[in-house]
């Protein structure tokens, strides 16, 4: 079963080994790019990627699940999302448009298909 559209693994392919097990290929994250509607957020005590995604992507169903898009979108991507965000750290947040039309968009899907 392929990953669903909102999954950070949606651009991976399943590869079957000789025993028939399926493994996902490496994932190419969408790293920071300068878009006119990017936002900046300065982390405060208690901020998490999960909560920031819920706040900035609120119109989407299960918005908190897009935490990975914020982690990948940093100039220096966040590799371990379980670590606390340091207060004062400046984070770049892709707009809802960039998330839906660019990061999850069909042109990118075709490029990785």
| Residue 55, H or E segment | helix 49-56
Q: Which two tokens stand for residue 72?
A: 């990948």
The overall average pLDDT reported for the chain is 85
Answer yes or no: is pLDDT of 2 > 50: no
Q: Do the Cβ atoms of 73 and 31 come closer than 8 Å?
A: yes
Token digits of residue 2: 């392929």
Between 17 and 93, whose confidence is greater? 93
Query: How many helices (H) and strands (E) are present in the chain, helices listed first?
Result: 4, 4
- pLDDT over 90 at 23, yes or no: no
Q: Say which residue, 7 or 112, is predicted with more confidence.
A: 7
Looking at per-residue pLDDT, the higher value among 8 and 61 belongs to 61
Torsions phi, psi for 6 (to 5 deg) = -80, 0
How does DSSP classify residue 10? T
Which of 16-20, 72-76, 99-103 has the least mean pLDDT?
16-20
Q: Is the pLDDT of residue 67 over 90?
A: yes
């Amino acid at each position: 079963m392929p990953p669903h559209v909102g999954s950070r693994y949606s651009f991976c392919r399943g590869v079957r080994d000789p025993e028939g097990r399926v493994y996902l290929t490496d994932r190419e994250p969408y790293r920071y790019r300068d878009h006119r509607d990017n936002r900046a957020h300065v982390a405060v005590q208690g901020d998490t990627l999960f909560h920031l995604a819920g706040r900035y992507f609120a119109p989407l169903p299960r918005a908190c699940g897009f935490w990975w898009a914020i982690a990948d979108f940093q100039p220096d991507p966040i590799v371990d999302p379980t670590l606390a965000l340091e207060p004062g750290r400046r984070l770049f947040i892709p707009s809802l448009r960039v998330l839906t039309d660019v990061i999850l968009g069909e042109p990118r899907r075709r490029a990785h298909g």
